[in-house]
A and B are shown apart, each in its own frame.
Chain A
Amino acid sequence: MLARLKQHLFRWRSDGTAPFRLGQRRIFILPTRAGVLFALALLVMLIGAINYNLALGHALVFLLAGLGLAGMVHTFRNIYGLQISPGRCEPVFAGEIARFPLQLTNDRTTPRVALTLAVEPALTVTAAVNAETSTKTAVLLTANQRGWLPLPRVRLATEFPLGLFNAWSYLQPEMRCLVYPKPAMTPLPLPVATDLTGQQHGEGGQEDFAGFRDRQPADSPRHVAWKASARNIADRPLLIKQFAGGASSELRLHWQDTDAHLDTEQRLSLLTGWVMAADAAGSAYGLSLPGLEVAVASGPAHRLHCLEALALATP
């Protein structure tokens, strides 16, 4: 029952891609502390005006009361009818701040000023939308845990124009952000011999043959293992001879290589750190996790692939 009510009140009815327009049923409004202070001041002023029988004092108090009421309507208007469309989230590492981009569209002929968007009060974002335009903003949220971070209920609020009332609405667009494990910066493990050769690693640089890998366009033709490639020329690209210890050495980042005494998250953090270090060094690397293998490769797409695998790993 409560869940259905919540769904009705806060959830986006659509699949989360369509823009959403704030209607009056979703907007709540209450006086702020300044509003309460203002009301108290008005009360004292009214008593003063009665006591001293000040006709214009009465008029002033009543004008200010009317001002408060009109201000309430304007505060409400400042978010009423605002259109919100969700954007695409960029993945972040755990411990960083995730940004959930939203596009705010104002089809009215007056600007909307001083809108605040917040999930956590400490990470409140203000936004303003000019008349008949749209603007991009983002809800900020601290990503604590790796995996999918769904956007919780967002409080869209405003106190404009008088600061005496606070109108707010809760939004919950279907948005999620991928959170990679927090990278732990430790030295890379020694490159291990790949399973293609089964031999021990060597430190002889380019001298020690370590195995084969698929040829990348940047590889020099001198390293092509013509004989090995010829064996299966039909359905494989050319193979490259690999040598241990060099800049282009091949790494295999194994779950088993991490310290077994650590807990899962710490081990994933170590692997993430390794992925980042290997990528920074320009090495080719592969990743093996329980139940999941990522073939050896390099480049930004590969890095993202590995990181996603680590973020969603369930060892």
Chain B
Amino acid sequence: MSTIARLALDRGAPPWLFGSALLATAPHALHQPIWLSLFSGLLLAWAAWLWWRDGRLPGRWLLIALVVLACAGILLEFRTLFGRDAGVGLLVILASMKLLEMKSRRDAMVIVILDYFLLLTHYFFSQSIPTGLWLLLSIWLVTAALIRVSGGAVCRPLPTLRHAGTLLAQALPFMIVLYLLFPRISGPLWGLPQDAHSGKTGLSDTMSPGSISDLVQSGAIAFRVRFDGEPPPRQQLYWRGPVMELFDGRIWRLHPGPTAAERIEALRPPVSYETTLEAHSQRWLLALDAPVTLPADSALNGTLTALSRQSVDQRRRVALSSALSYRFNPDERPPVITRNLALPAGINPRSRALAESWRQRDASPQAIVDQALRLFAGNEFSYTLRPPLLGDNGLDQFLFETRRGFCEHYAAAFVFLMRAAGVPARVVGGYQGGEMNPLDGYLVVRQSDAHAWAEVWMAGRGWVRVDPTSVVAPARLEAGIADALPQGEPLPALIQIRADWLRTLRHRWEAVNNAWNQHILGYDPQRQRELLSRLGLPDADWRRLAFVLATLCALLLAVVTAWTLYHRPRRDPASQLWQRALRHLRRRQVDCAPWETPHALLTRVESTQPLLAPAFRRVVEAYLGARYGEQQHQLDALRQAVKQLP
């Protein structure tokens, strides 16, 4: 068949493009403003309706008006047109809008390329396995749409999908080679927009009543740890975050001053481990107390918090080692001591009086600490995520009236009492514990493991960790938050699972996710160097790498080309059947000479083997019919005839 070529799009093509545009834009509905999703959805529906009714596409002025409207909406919503979210919103609108001016094949190609581009933008928000699978499906369908557009109306849906699948399968080896060997550059090439890493959860740099108990209600993973040896016992797993020294009566804050030198003395050999941090947009690395060795671009600040030079905006792997038993700054500088004794004047008089009474009984810091812990252990204090609201003298109210609180209440009250009694003390935020995944040996620490504890300074011993929660709810340290809290607390369902099979399932899923994060998403310049040295290319520079890459790609291309172009001539099925019939004859001592035509052979058979002749005649007729007759592909008759040979 042949027709005059037209560059216009045939009628069957637009549904493919609507489908691929839908696939490429739909996942953005999860995080973009609703009006934007509605707007692009309406545009898509309008385009589909016009196609259905064979209506005329809208004029240029209407489209320009719509673009201006959409830009204005985005400007109002995001206050910019160039940020990450605003850019993605604009792309979504453009891709939907282009469907309304889809006339020629060229427009369709532009739409497909826009769709491919849109697929990339999903990775700003998630790079999880489901996203990866969804996008693989989308790539497949968008590619099928591309094939449908350039192939025209002769392409039926199923072969088109199959063809797209073949192409993607052939593209896969290229992807693997490029992924492994393409020279990786770490870090941004230039400044990222303000909103590049928004929407990350984690500890904040202040602590007020309720700040940690809010965080605990998220089951999201904060970081994963793999210990080089046996993991330490759970009670010792204090992951140190921000240390808060300033108190204004309600909120605890970091001391903003310059960092000071610190002296750590490891009392036992340190344990080394590798932490994979999820992005949390802060600088702390959440090392185990107390960090001894740190990666190159990070350092300890004066309060023993390991800080990275840049904030952790993406999942990041760091190798660390920590001494679980240590002595830290036994001779602390006086300004720090003063700072950690300061209290705002005039608040919580009952607490001050209590602390004063302790000091008069026994002024040694250890005795005061013990007094406070006895207070929490004995006096019907309870551990809850839903404490009552507290007023101005919050700590007095908490210590003498409500007596219900979460770890930040206990840590804050404890530090207040210590300072009031003349013992330097401060609040430490971080995580405590974690859950070992038996399948891959990674310790998983979630936001629900967020914790706050206290640190007091004693002359000669330095800073000593005291965790008041450990006496209020000992289960918190031994078994984790889910066991420490009474039933009915608003914990995420994920960590409350008690059925074994569900827990195993969750472990399995998280192990798969972790493997994905570690090996696929976590493939960075460092890993690439390791791989290259294992391949016998140690410290290859980019030129060498490019050469290797080009060679490998050329080889792959040659293989794909050979595979694609190889054409095995198929034997004609009719002559195959004929050969089978001849083999039949040979068994009856009738040999067909190479020059003998079927008819000549038949004549000979009729004279020598009259019994065989009628059956053979049918074979000859069917064979000639199949090979030279009007209706080709009439093989069934021949097959039947051959089968009926006696």
Interface residues of A (CB under 8 A from B): 34, 37-38, 41, 44-45, 47-67, 69-71, 73-74, 76-77, 80-81, 107-109, 111, 113-114, 116-118, 123-128, 132, 135-138, 140, 159-163
**Which B residues lie within 8 Å of A70 (CB)?**
167, 170-171, 174, 560
A161 pairs with B1, CB closer than 8 A: no
A130 to chain B, nearest CB (A): 9
Query: Are the C-beta atoms of B139 and A63 separated by less than 8 Å?
Result: yes
Q: Which single member of A54, A64, A74, A159 contacts B127 (CB below 8 Å)?
A: A54
Known: A61-B120, A163-B109. A56 touches B182 (CB 8 A): no
A89 vs chain B, min Cβ distance (A): 15
Instruction: Tally the A-B contacts, defined by beta carbons under 8 Å.
Output: 179
User: If the complex has contacts A77-B565, A160-B151, are A56 and B110 also in contact, measured as CB distance less than 8 A?
Assistant: no
The answer to whether A41 touches B113, judged by C-beta atoms less than 8 angstroms apart, is yes
CA distance A81 to B568 in the complex (A): 12
CB interface residues, B 154-195, toward A, < 8 Å = 154-155, 159, 163, 167-168, 170-175, 178-179, 182, 185-190, 192
Give chain B nearest CB distance to A48 CB in angstroms: 6
Report the separation of the CA atoms of residues A61 and B117 in the bound assembly, to the nearest whole angstrom.
9
CB-nearest residue of chain A to B557? A69
- Check: B106 CB closer than 8 A to any chain A CB: yes
Closest Cβ of chain B to A256, distance in Å, is: 43
Contacts A74-B167, A80-B565, A114-B152 given: A37-B4 contact, CB under 8 Å?
no
Given contacts A63-B172, A69-B553, 11 further A-B contacts (CB under 8 A): A38-B116, A41-B117, A51-B188, A59-B175, A60-B119, A60-B120, A62-B178, A70-B560, A73-B560, A108-B567, A113-B155
Complex CA gap A154/B481 in Å reads 78
Contact, CB under 8 Å: B189 / A47: yes
Provide the bound-state CA to CA distance between A53 and B314, in Å: 8
A256 to B521 Cα, complex, angstroms: 90
In the bound assembly, the distance between CA atoms of A214 and B186 in angstroms comes to 98
In Å, the complex CA distance between A118 and B2 comes to 12
Whole-angstrom CA separation of A56 from B2 in the bound complex: 43
B residues near A, CB below 8 A? 1-5, 105-106, 109-110, 113, 116-117, 119-120, 123-124, 127, 131-132, 135, 139, 143, 146-147, 149-152, 154-155, 159, 163, 167-168, 170-175, 178-179, 182, 185-190, 192, 196, 314, 520-523, 553, 557, 560-561, 564-565, 567, 569-570
Q: Which residues of B contact A81 (CB under 8 A)?
A: 565, 567
Among A54, A69, A160, point to the contact of B150 (Cβ < 8 A). Answer: A160
For the complex formed, measure the closest distance between the CB of A101 and the CB atoms of chain B, giving whole angstroms. Answer: 10
Q: Are A66 and B120 in contact (CB under 8 A)?
A: no
Contact status B5-A66, CB under 8 Å:
no
A66–B172 touching, CB < 8 Å? yes
Cα separation A149 to B185 with both chains bound (whole Å):
62
Q: A116-B5, A126-B3 are in contact. Are A52 and B188 (CB under 8 A)?
A: yes
Query: Given the known A-B contacts A34-B106, A41-B117, A60-B119, are A74 and B564 also in contact in the complex, defined by CB atoms under 8 Å?
Result: yes
Find out whether the CB atom of A54 lies under 8 angstroms from the CB atom of B149. Answer: no
Give which listed residue, B2, B149, B168, B557, contacts A127 with CB less than 8 A. B2
Which 5 residue pairs spanning A and B have beta carbons closest together?
A: A66-B174, A66-B171, A163-B150, A137-B2, A62-B178
CA gap between A160 and B167 in the complex, in Å? 12
Nearest neighbor of B567 in chain A, beta-carbon distance: A108
CB distance from B107 to the nearest CB of A (A): 11
Bound-state Cα–Cα, A139 to B639, Å: 41
- B120–A55 touching, CB < 8 Å: no
